[in-house]
Structure 1
Amino acid sequence: MAKRAYKSFRYKANSAWSSARRGLLSASGKTDIVVGSPPEFKGEPDIWAPEELLVGSVNTCIMLTFLTLAEAKGLTPVEYESEAEGLLEIIEGKYRITEVTVRPRVSLKGKAELERAREIMESVEAQCFISNSIKSKVTLTAEFVVAPSQK
């Protein structure tokens, strides 16, 4: 059996200060994102904060990993929605996001798909690049439902 070749990838992002506790996050060929401190650290509530971006990265990676694994197993969800929450606390005198809880809700075509979807979700956390890259405890609490029939 041939050994699988693994690849490495590099990702780049730029930050530029614009005013007060605000800046722009950018990457080549993508729309800029206005970023800043969260309100807890004298920032503005309508600006994306690094804490939200980290939680959002875990949430998005969990979703994309599930969808990739589901596709490989021939499973196509009707709908996937997820909310995630991170806990920022002081540990040994330093702020850290110590845990991220991700709550996906996956709608499926029929009851026959429920068990396969659960099995796929069980392997997601171990394969998500982002959750593998952070110290935070990642908890995944998934809900699976059968979508109402489309008539």
Structure 2
Amino acid sequence: MDVLPHHYSVTVDANPENNLRVSAAHLSALEVAAPKQFDGPGDKWSPEELLLAAAANCFVLSFRTVASIAKLEWQAIQCTTEGVLDKVERAMQFTELVNKVALTIDSEASRQKAETLLAKAEKICIVSNSLTAQKRLEIEIVTKS
């Protein structure tokens, strides 16, 4: 890991009519639009979905790191992150984020270790730690054997 602090930058280009174009150095651009709930087309990534995607990706990458350090043998992980957007004191914000995680491990003997590492991944996730929403982790562990 590079020495902290890290700096990140994205650029959004837009005009009055078209979708937004989000870009960052050395990355493919994304088309972004408002979600259907805000009268958007519903066929492009929205800022709300990108926020949830960032939280889910950060969780999985955090899990990979702690699982590697702890030498946990695992086969697959799926993280579905759901968010509740609501009005709080005259401002809209995400009030709840739920990570629904399905983890496939090699043996039942690793279940407790896997649960501990999933909880640790949630605690160290940079993205969700930067948000004020309440967080909840729902775990499903499947053994391959």
- The TM-score normalised by the length of structure 1 is 0.89
Q: Flag structure 1 segments of 5+ consecutive residues without an equivalent.
A: none
Q: Do residues 96 (structure 1) and 100 (structure 2) align?
A: no
Candidates 128, 134, 138, aligned match of 1:137: 134
Query: Take 1:74 and 1:12, find their aligned partners in 2: how far apart are those partners?
Result: 34
Q: Sort the Cα spacing of 1:50 and 1:14 in 2 relative to 1 into closer, same or farther, 3 A.
A: same
Structure-1 residue corresponding to 2:110 = 113
For 1:83, what is the secondary structure of its paired residue?
A: strand
Structure-2 residue corresponding to 1:17 = 14
For 2:73, what is the secondary structure of its paired residue?
A: coil
Report how far residue 21 of structure 1 moved: 5.6
Letter aligned with residue 25 of structure 1: V
CA RMSD across the alignment: 1.6
Report runs of 4+ in structure 1 exceeding 3 Å deviation. none
How many pairs does the alignment contain?
A: 144
Identity %: 26
Structure-1 residue corresponding to 2:58 = 61
Report how far residue 56 of structure 1 moved: 1.0
Q: Do residues 128 (structure 1) and 133 (structure 2) align?
A: no
Query: Take 2:49 and 2:68, find their aligned partners in 1: how far apart are those partners?
Result: 28
Query: Take 1:56 and 1:21, find their aligned partners in 2: how far apart are those partners?
Result: 23
Candidates 24, 29, 32, aligned match of 2:29: 32
Q: Flag structure 2 segments of 5+ consecutive residues without an equivalent.
A: none
Q: Do residues 47 (structure 1) and 44 (structure 2) align?
A: yes
Query: Take 1:40 and 1:103, find their aligned partners in 2: how far apart are those partners?
Result: 23
Report how far residue 6 of structure 1 moved: 5.8
Structure-2 residue corresponding to 1:83 = 80
